[in-house]
């Protein structure tokens, strides 16, 4: 009999008031309006580590949602991911009050430069003792591109081409510039770093050029744990080459299994082990000590949720202004330059505005599981076993209630079934996920830029790692 999979769980959050379940900031027990205080994030980190969560996954967006009704009025009124603060500045504070909790943080390629971004990652990986993950995003709203001084988003596939180039340069810096034993900190000889073990890199790619040395010494993971969420054909090829954690949207376990099969094939096509990735589905969980309590809580939450807010968010995801359509009017989906997979699913299901509003009745369109501990655990296990996935991004509905309820009600049930950890694994975030060490495996494409052996790099001239 095969061993049961341990279920991985990330707390899905954002450095903003509204995230996935729009309108919930109006709930009297919700604390998301305190998002711009350190106490909010410090308290949340402590709660999540108590619950043995794998990590907190912090989404981000560069730009704002201005597709629905052709303006940002509803976005501002309902705080639909606006205002939104920098997610990276939260990490040090949360890391200081935790020992094991991981941090998957979003950064958009177009808003960063590889040379300085590589230093930021190395710094945080050092400060957290190897608990940093990066969610790689290529951008999907024109407003962000305009804010960055561009006319609009680049073509969908071109954004992935740029991301490939960004990653290659970053790998050279993280993996190839400093040898593991470059820092010797020899006080007597007054040598902190051995110059023979630090190497210049050269990169002349289609989008980025760089010559020089990585500014940071090696961190525990060197390359952060890599997350990605693209589900289009081009996105899956990108994930196959780079990603270690992949987020998918799926309406049911069968759909998840079909997506997982394509992703694992893309990983194999890139010369990697198909199980060198963990696949996650976004889910909302409303548990109760009894089924009746859970259903009453669900009904209460619906009272505060904004279905229209969720639809406005979805408009930005698809590039379609759904406010222009009648409730039952057929919607022209066409070809999207935004999130292609979201558009395709809506088109395949012939979603009208009425159907979309029903889908977003809890303020978002994520699958919602409501029930007592056993009922919730049954559903989660079904997703894992039938969907061939590895875990969940648990969305927040009411903060911190959503996470506290999951920890106090659902986690003990999963532990009793042998499906949830009872203690943390030691080591860096990558080792906690895969149990194979802190560094990327040799089968990952980034490994080609590693210094294989210090014995051949002792010449007076620096070793150049060329494109």
What's residue 343's pLDDT?
59
What's residue 330's pLDDT?
81
What's residue 230's pLDDT?
72
Does this model's pTM top 0.75? My answer is: yes
What's residue 348's pLDDT?
65
Closest to 14 measured CA to CA, from 97, 113, 80, 112: 80
Half-sphere exposure of 286 (CA within 13 A, CB side): 21
Closest to 46 measured CA to CA, from 114, 99, 110: 99
Phi and psi at 369, nearest 5°, equal -110, 125
pLDDT tens-place values along the chain, 467 residues long: 468 899 999 999 999 999 999 999 999 999 999 999 999 999 999 999 999 999 999 999 999 999 999 999 999 999 999 999 999 999 999 999 999 999 999 999 999 999 999 999 999 999 999 999 999 999 888 899 999 999 888 898 999 999 999 999 999 999 999 999 999 999 999 999 999 999 999 999 999 999 999 999 999 999 999 999 977 889 999 999 999 999 998 999 999 999 999 999 999 999 999 999 999 999 999 999 999 999 999 999 999 999 999 999 989 888 889 998 888 888 886 665 555 556 566 666 677 888 889 989 999 989 999 999 999 999 999 999 999 999 999 999 999 999 999 999 999 999 999 999 999 999 999 999 999 999 999 999 999 999 754 333 323 333 344 43
- For residue 356, give both structure tokens: 């979309």
How many Å apart are CA 314 and CA 141, to the nearest integer? 11
Residue with tokens 């969305």, as numbered in its chain: 395
CATH class of the 8-292+368-456 domain in this structure: alpha beta
Closest to 61 measured CA to CA, from 339, 259, 364, 321: 339
What sign has the CA pseudo-torsion 23, 24, 28, 33?
negative
What's residue 338's pLDDT?
53
In the chain, where are the structural domains located? 8-292+368-456
* Burial bucket for residue 236 (CB in 10 Å: 0-12, 13-18, 19+): buried
């Amino acid at each position: 009999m095969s061993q049961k999979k341990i279920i991985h769980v990330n707390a899905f959050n954002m450095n903003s008031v509204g995230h996935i379940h729009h309108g919930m900031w109006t709930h009297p027990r919700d604390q998301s309006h305190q998002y711009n205080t350190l106490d909010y994030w410090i308290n949340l980190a402590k709660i999540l580590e108590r619950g043995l969560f794998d990590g907190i996954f912090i989404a981000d967006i560069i730009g704002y949602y201005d597709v629905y009704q052709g303006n940002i009025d509803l976005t501002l009124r309902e705080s639909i991911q606006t205002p939104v603060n920098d997610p990276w500045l939260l990490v040090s504070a949360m890391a200081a009050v935790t020992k094991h909790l991981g941090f998957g943080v979003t950064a958009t390629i177009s808003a960063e430069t590889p040379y300085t971004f590589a230093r930021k990652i190395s710094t945080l990986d050092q400060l957290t003792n190897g608990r940093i993950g990066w969610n790689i995003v290529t951008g999907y709203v024109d407003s962000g591109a305009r804010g960055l001084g561009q006319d609009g988003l680049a073509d969908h596939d071109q954004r992935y081409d740029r991301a490939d180039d960004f990653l290659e340069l970053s790998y050279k810096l993280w993996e190839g510039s400093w040898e593991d034993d470059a820092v010797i900190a020899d006080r007597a000889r007054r040598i902190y770093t051995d110059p023979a073990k630090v190497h210049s890199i050269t990169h002349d790619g289609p989008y980025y050029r760089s010559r020089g040395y990585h500014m940071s010494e090696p961190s525990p993971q060197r390359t952060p744990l890599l997350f990605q969420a693209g589900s289009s054909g081009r996105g899956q090829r990108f994930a196959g080459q780079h990603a270690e954690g992949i987020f998918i949207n799926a309406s049911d376990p069968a759909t998840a299994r079909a997506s997982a099969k394509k992703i694992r094939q893309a990983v194999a096509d890139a010369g990697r082990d198909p199980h060198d990735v963990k696949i996650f589905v976004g889910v909302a969980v409303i548990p109760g000590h009894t089924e009746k309590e859970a259903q009453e809580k669900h009904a209460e939450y619906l009272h505060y949720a904004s279905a229209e807010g969720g639809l406005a968010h979805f408009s930005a995801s698809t590039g379609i202004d759904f406010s222009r359509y009648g409730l039952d009017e057929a919607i022209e989906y066409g070809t999207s330059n935004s999130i292609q997979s979201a558009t395709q699913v809506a088109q395949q299901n012939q979603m009208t505005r009425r159907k979309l509003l029903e889908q977003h009745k809890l303020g978002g369109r994520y699958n919602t599981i409501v029930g007592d501990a056993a009922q919730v655990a049954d559903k989660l296990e079904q997703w894992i076993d039938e969907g061939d996935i590895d875990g969940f991004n648990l969305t927040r509905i009411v903060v911190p209630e959503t996470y506290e309820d999951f920890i106090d009600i659902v986690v003990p049930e999963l532990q009793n079934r042998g499906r949830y950890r009872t203690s943390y694994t030691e080591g860096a975030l990558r080792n906690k996920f895969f149990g194979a060490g802190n560094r990327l495996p040799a089968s990952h494409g980034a490994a080609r830029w590693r210094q294989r052996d210090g014995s051949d790099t002792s010449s007076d001239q620096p070793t150049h790692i060329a494109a």
